[in-house]
Amino acid sequence: MREPRVTRLVITALIAACPFVTAAAQTLSPYAPLTIPLNIEQVPGNSIWYSTGNPGIPGKENEGNTSNAGFVVTSDGVVVFDALGTPSLGWALLEQIRKITDKNIRYVVASHYHADHIYGLQAFRDHTSAIIVAQERSGEYKDNEHTADERANQRLDQRRTALFPWVDGNTRVVPPDITFKERMTITIGERRLTLLYAGPAHSSSDMMMMVEPDGVLFAGDIVQNGRIPFMNSDDVSTMQWLQALDEVARLDPKYIIPGHGRTSTRASQAIAFTRDYIQYVRNTMATAVQNWTDFDVAYEQADWSKYREMPAFASNNRGNAYRIYLELERSRFKADKP
Ligand SMILES: [Zn+2]
């Protein structure tokens, strides 16, 4: 224990002696520091905290902080759900946990492997002994560049520019230590955490985590509020996504922390936006597929006024509509086969 203390004293002395105090202080943080602090709140009456990201897509103006994450503090350690979209954000989350408890961080659960939720895993891998858990199809994220639902290397290159300096040449995708197929239970302290596979819906590896006896559900990107969800990838199944939303309703949690957007105390309210949006795009595109209308024409003719002003509409809506058009065309083709 002596050595780190000596090192810290030396660093403190260096900072004091150095005219460029800010630059010296920054070396204390292992990643590029953030200027916007995390927005951390507590689930009322429970030892569960969460960070709410900004609406819209990851960019310099929000420092990549667009997704939600959270953590459960038990008598036997901490379980983290999602790690945010840059190593700097992961580090900030870790610092927030340290302000609340000095208990070991035992597990970090990844809701699914998409950049905006997993680049922060690097901070947990490098600075804690936490076990990283994900659904088994998360392995496809790196292993298969052609079928993975987000081209991992391409995405990392894009983020190294879009989110520099928070994502840089040292940023890497950290794989899980443990994976599960359908369901996994973590019993820790006085809590039972049930991890439930809910994909392929928004991505191939979507999962949700139910915390009992609290009745708090971390829903990942199955539930998104207040912005147009991203659906433009090979593995999106809006059919399965609607079923996963039904599962949320069946679980009937007291409190829902979605992957993006505000929390909710009523399941029906939490799932309404995502379900209405998926159903609206499906209905609109179903008519086009039935009438053999060309996608571009169908898209131009559709009435998007209900969603046009929402965050991420410009970046996500057209691609989403196209994916759903293809999904419906595929299912029609299957149904037509003798
Ligand atoms: Zn997301």
Token readout for 236 is 């999106």
Q: Nearest Cα to 277, choosing from 256, 315, 306? A: 306
- What SS3 class is residue 40? strand
Q: How far is the CA of 154 from the centre of ligand 1 (A)?
A: 17
pTM listed for this prediction: 0.86
Strand (E) positions, the chain?
Answer: 40-42, 48-51, 69-74, 77-81, 105-109, 131-135, 178-180, 183-188, 191-197, 207-212, 216-224, 255-260
Task: Please report the pLDDT score of residue 143 as a whole number.
Answer: 60
Residue 337 Cα to ligand 1 middle (Å): 36
Q: Look at residue 243 and give its three-state secondary structure.
A: helix
pLDDT for position 78: 98
Q: Are 200 and 207 in contact (CB under 8 A)?
A: no
- Cβ–Cβ contacts within 10 Å for residue 309, how many? 8
| Structural domains present in the chain | 32-336 (3.60.15.30)
CA of 141 to the centre of ligand 1 (A): 14
DSSP string, 304-325: -TTTTTSTTHHHHHHHHHHHHH
Q: Return the closest-CA partner of residue 22 out of 10, 35, 9.
A: 35
pLDDT by position in tens, the chain (length 338): 333 444 444 444 444 444 343 433 344 789 999 999 999 999 999 999 999 999 888 999 999 999 999 999 999 999 999 999 999 999 999 999 999 999 999 999 999 999 999 999 999 999 999 999 999 999 888 765 555 557 788 899 999 999 999 999 999 999 999 999 999 999 999 999 999 999 999 999 999 999 999 999 999 999 988 889 988 887 789 999 999 999 999 999 999 999 999 999 988 888 999 999 999 999 999 999 999 999 999 999 999 999 999 988 999 999 999 999 998 998 877 765 55
Predicted pLDDT at 171 = 97
Q: Residue 1's pLDDT is what?
A: 36
Count of beta carbons in the 10 Å neighbourhood of residue 100: 14
Distance in angstroms (rounded) separating the CA atoms of residues 51 and 150: 24
Nearest to 25 by CA among 8, 3, 39: 8
- Output the CA 52–ligand 1 centroid distance in Å: 12
Question: 62 CA distance to ligand 1 centroid (A)?
Answer: 14
Cα of 280 vs centre of ligand 1, distance in Å, is: 21
Give the tokens for residue 93: 């989350």
Ligand 1 mean position, distance from CA 109 (Å)? 14
Is the separation of the CB atoms in 162 and 60 below 8 Å? Answer: yes
Exposure string for 241-273, b = 16+ CB within 10 A, e = fewer:
bbebbebbeebebebbbbbbbebbeebeebbeb
pLDDT confidence of residue 83 = 98
Compute, in angstroms, the gap from residue 117 CA to the centroid of ligand 1.
6
